[in-house]
Copies of this chain bind each other. A is one copy, B any other.
């Protein structure tokens, strides 16, 4: 593969405000989403698959993964945009690969292209479980989408 995107700006202080924190309300708070790694153009965030999230069939509702993907697609943008700008998930596509019934769900978002108006982001979602043999990671969804970059009024 050739050269990938480089970022003109990276606000590390912003990442510290979100790492390890949970939202107080909204769907990300409901899921318990927490960011665990945040570098320029790359965010890892996930949540525990609690019993509350499991449907009658015994698996987690796929909508939890879709919501997580939507979430990381927006959040990954903040530290690499100029201050005051905001990002909105404009579109994405997701393939759900395998059911999830426990453990932890973790999304890794990677910005792969960025202009002044748009960024394209790929997301890998893994199910992390603890087994006798140690931590197991299984790819359960992949996504690709676009975040629109919006300048503050007057910029």
Contacts and interface: CB of A to CB of B under 8 A. Distances in A.
Contacts of A97: 112-113, 120
A136 B3 CA distance: 9
Contact of A27 (B64, B70, B93): B64
Interface in A29-79: 30-31, 52-55, 57, 61-71, 74
Nearest to A52: B25
Interface string A114-154: 00011010101010100000001111001110101000000
A148 to B, nearest CB: 8
Contact of A96 (B2, B69, B90): B90
A88 interface: yes
Contacts of A88: 62, 96, 99
Could you say how many copies of this chain the assembly holds? 4
B53 A63 contact: no
A2 B91 contact: no
A26 interface: yes
Contacts of A120: 91, 95, 97, 142
B63 A139 contact: no
A1 interface: yes
A124 B1 contact: yes
Nearest to A30: B30
A70 to B, nearest CB: 4
